Homo-oligomer: A and B are copies of this chain.
Amino acid sequence: MSADLPGVLLVMTTLPNADTAARIARALVEGGHAACVSIGAPVRSVYVWQGALEDASEVPLAIKTTANAYDALEAALRALHPYELPEIIALPVTRGLPAYLQWVDAGCGGAGRSC
């Protein structure tokens, strides 16, 4: 990634239903924690919880934010999230359309070009 482009992250989490997902998506964008949040089609999550195999329907969020905004995003998402232990994972974006990366930066309070 060229040095003068912002470090963008794709953050992923899952919510129990579409209403909660939409409410949290709006809160993250309006709070300046993310430039864009995509609410995905429902998924089935298979995992072990307290010794039992679970197979739960969940709604995934794909959150476009920046490395600089990550700590505040994680804290806000943690506070908003209904789960005791939510999935919150961040993947690095190493290349991208420069104007879009700057737009994400601006959406998260960075110096990038806004729209």
Contact = CB atoms under 8 A, between A and B. Distances in A.
Contacts of A74: 95, 97
Interface string A51-92: 001010010101010010010001000100000011111111
Contact of A30 (B53, B70, B92, B100): B53
A15 interface: no
Nearest to A42: B41
B41 A41 contact: yes
Given A22-B46, A97-B78, A58 B87 contact: no
Contacts of A26: 46, 53, 55
A2 interface: no
9 contacts: A9-B94, A26-B53, A26-B55, A35-B48, A36-B46, A37-B45, A38-B45, A85-B100, A88-B97
